Amino acid sequence: MTAALEAHSITKKYRGADGVEVVAVDAFSFAVAAGEIVGLLGPNGAGKTTSMQLALGLLELDSGEIRIFGGDPEELSARRRIGYAPDAPLFPKSLTGLQVLELHAELLKLPKARAAQMVEELGFSEPARRSCGTYSRGQAQRLGLALALIGEPDLVLLDEPSAGLDPAGVRAMRELLTRLKARGAAVLLNSHLLSEIERVCDRVLFIKAGRLLRTHEVHAQGGRRAEVRLANGPQVRERLLQKLPDGVLENGRFRIPVASEDVVPGLVRMLVEAGAEVLEVSLGGAELEELYLQIVEGRPQPAGEPRS
Amino acid sequence: MISWPVARATFRERGRSGLALALAAMLAVSSLRSPPGQAFQGFGQALLILFTLLLGAGLLADEIESGHAQLVLLRPLTRADWYGGRFAGAALVLLGGLVLAFACSAGWSLAHGNFSASELLVLPVAFLWSAAWLSVVVAVGAAARGWTNAGLVVVAGIGWAMLMGLTRLASPELGALMVTAGKYLGPQQPLPISQLEPIAYDLLWLFGAWLAGVLLLNRRELARRRT
């Protein structure tokens, strides 16, 4: 099956103000298939936004190739199927959010009513009637998201979509991504929220200085991890590791990959049967953070930690 | 060539600018006591060029630098369509201002019984001249940042005028040559209408600058750099 987005060895260099050449993206290759959410993770300046802009043709490639739905990204028919929400978008100050959405609906040859429908779906009715010049960052972000999704695109590129959103907005964002995936859209997501990436992404691409460091299959490799704080960890170490060999016991915390939160009660039962005194159980987040620190920041892997 | 949804949005956006409305009102008021043939000459001409510069200032850059142009250009339309839509939207505001001023002037003349039907030609000719200048300002904006496109056109005009003045002082013959050449360095004022050459020349500037602007925009990287 053809990937929705393929980047083959894309490279982009800038000349800085001091005349020194900076390699923003360095022979970076990746693909996003239909029904897949791929996350881009890396420090500031890693080349995540530049990679998205290259994929969309907003920047010219120095070398490499981009294919969208197997074809040239400049093809107008392909553009009908793309949605892009940039980080911190700005809109014409004298137009209302609804007018901006109506413009994009017209450009996509959709009925104007689709704009109002989108506004309703995203719970944006009140701000949509106001001038864009009055928007907070979060409201501009929501309008950007509405613009990205108005044409029901098959390929969606989201650059820091949760930045500036309130907790309800972040939750709505997560649900939206799940819906996009369910209807078979391909999503490339750039976010600094590791917990969000871990929850929604199928794959994570770790990049630094424009280079791909590692690809991490989130769910295939037990993307969720249970962390159990024990009162008597050292005393039950042998029994625990015998019963649950995938786990790691360190500093009184027992960590183990789990397929989903459904297995947590069973896990706690097993721990108790092995004689462990359970103080606290938490799920998710930690694994990706550890991986990020190891891969991107180069911190050493804790002893006994399985590599993914 | 022209995206009409973009043109409509641009018309709304530029037409609501307080400065543009103020200049259109000033142009209309200044036309009240002049017959249409003179309404867009002298002070009226200066106001019209100011109005044109204001409408063209940052017409492309405002959208590109805010990042909205990038979102629009990801839709199924070409850069030329977008450029044409932005230009057409601003030109429609310009036309609106001119129609208002012309109506004031023609109304005044009619009230005083000195309006002639031939003066109806003044409106399209004045529009052509100002639209040609708008086209030049927008074309410069395809490569310039912010509102510097209008500034660059003004600076170039002042610079040329100063150079002509100095040259005439030093060498009257060369100065006269520069005055003749200067007529061809931008759209020519066709009013009062006495010959067709300036009209044809303004048409050339209008479409020539348009083409140059599209070519420049096609070479421009559109991604908004993070600071």
> Which amino acid is it at A178?
T
pLDDT in tens, A95-152: 899 999 999 999 999 998 999 988 888 878 888 999 998 998 888 988 998 999 999 9
Whole-number pLDDT of residue A301: 56
pLDDT in tens, A241-295: 888 887 888 778 888 877 777 888 889 999 999 899 999 988 765 567 778 888 8
Angle at CA of residue A291, ends A288 and A296, nearest 5°: 120
Quick one: how far is CA B50 from the chain centroid?
9
Q: Is the CB of residue A172 less than 8 Å from the CB of residue A198? A: no
The alpha-carbon gap from B135 to the nearest alpha carbon of chain A, in Å, equals: 21
Whole-number pLDDT of residue B80: 96
Domain tally for chain B?
1
Partner B contacted by A135 (CB < 8 A): no
Domains of chain A and CATH, by start: 5-217 (3.40.50.300), 224-285 (3.30.70)
Partner B contacted by A86 (CB < 8 A): yes
Quick one: closest CA in A to B66, which residue?
Answer: A90
> What does the pLDDT average to over B88-106?
95
Q: Is residue B191 included in any domain, yes or no?
A: yes
pLDDT in tens, B180-223: 888 888 888 877 777 888 899 999 999 999 999 999 999 888 87
Chain A residues touching residue B61 (CB < 8 angstroms): none
pLDDT in tens, A171-228: 888 888 888 989 999 999 998 888 788 878 889 999 999 999 989 887 654 456 788 9
CB contact under 8 A, A92 and B6: no
Partner A contacted by B112 (CB < 8 A): no
The alpha-carbon gap from A76 to the nearest alpha carbon of chain B, in Å, equals: 5
Can you give the pTM of this predicted structure? 0.82
Chain B residues touching residue A77 (CB < 8 angstroms): 76
Q: Is residue B227 included in any domain, yes or no?
A: no
The alpha-carbon gap from B14 to the nearest alpha carbon of chain A, in Å, equals: 8
Partner A contacted by B63 (CB < 8 A): yes
CB contact under 8 A, B76 and A58: no
Q: Is the CB of residue B197 less than 8 Å from the CB of residue B125? A: no
Chain A residues touching residue B66 (CB < 8 angstroms): 89-92
Position B10 pLDDT exceeds 60:
yes
Query: Which residue of B5, B70, B226 is in closest CB contact with A107?
Result: B5
pLDDT in tens, B101-122: 999 999 988 888 888 888 888 9
Query: What residue numbers bound the domain in which B190 lies?
Result: 4-219
Q: Which residues contact B151 (CB under 8 A, 6 or more apart)?
A: B57
| Cis before B192 (ω within 30) | yes
Which neighbouring-strand residues pair with A15? A21
Q: Is residue B156 included in any domain, yes or no?
A: yes
Chain A residues touching residue B76 (CB < 8 angstroms): 76-77, 79-80, 107-108
Q: Is the CB of residue B139 less than 8 Å from the CB of residue B213? A: yes
> How many contacts, defined by CB atoms under 8 Å, are there between A and B?
78
pLDDT in tens, B165-179: 999 899 999 988 988
Q: Which two tokens stand for residue A272?
A: 């108790």
> Which amino acid is it at B115?
F
Distance CA B14, CA B19 (A): 10
Chain A residues touching residue B59 (CB < 8 angstroms): none
Partner A contacted by B26 (CB < 8 A): no
Query: Which residue of B9, B67, B74 is in closest CB contact with A79?
Result: B74
Q: Is residue B225 included in any domain, yes or no?
A: no
The alpha-carbon gap from B2 to the nearest alpha carbon of chain A, in Å, equals: 12
The pLDDT-based confidence of A304 (bands split at 50, 70, 90) is: very low
| Nearest to A138, CA basis, from A182, A88, A183 | A88
CB contact under 8 A, B62 and A144: no
CB contact under 8 A, B75 and A107: yes
Query: Coil, strand, or helix at residue A142?
Result: helix
Chain A residues touching residue B226 (CB < 8 angstroms): 49, 87
Q: Is residue B226 included in any domain, yes or no?
A: no
Pairing of strands A21-32, A5-15: antiparallel
CB contact under 8 A, B75 and A77: no
Quick one: closest CA in A to B82, which residue?
Answer: A107
Most B CBs within 10 A among A103, A104, A106, A143, hence the mutation to make, goes to A103
Position B161 pLDDT exceeds 80:
yes
Distance CA B40, CA A194 (A): 63
The alpha-carbon gap from A80 to the nearest alpha carbon of chain B, in Å, equals: 6
Q: Is the CB of residue B48 less than 8 Å from the CB of residue B27? A: yes
CB contact under 8 A, B71 and A104: yes
Chain B residues touching residue A72 (CB < 8 angstroms): none
Backbone angles phi, psi at A213, to 5 degrees: -90, -45
Query: Coil, strand, or helix at residue A294?
Result: helix
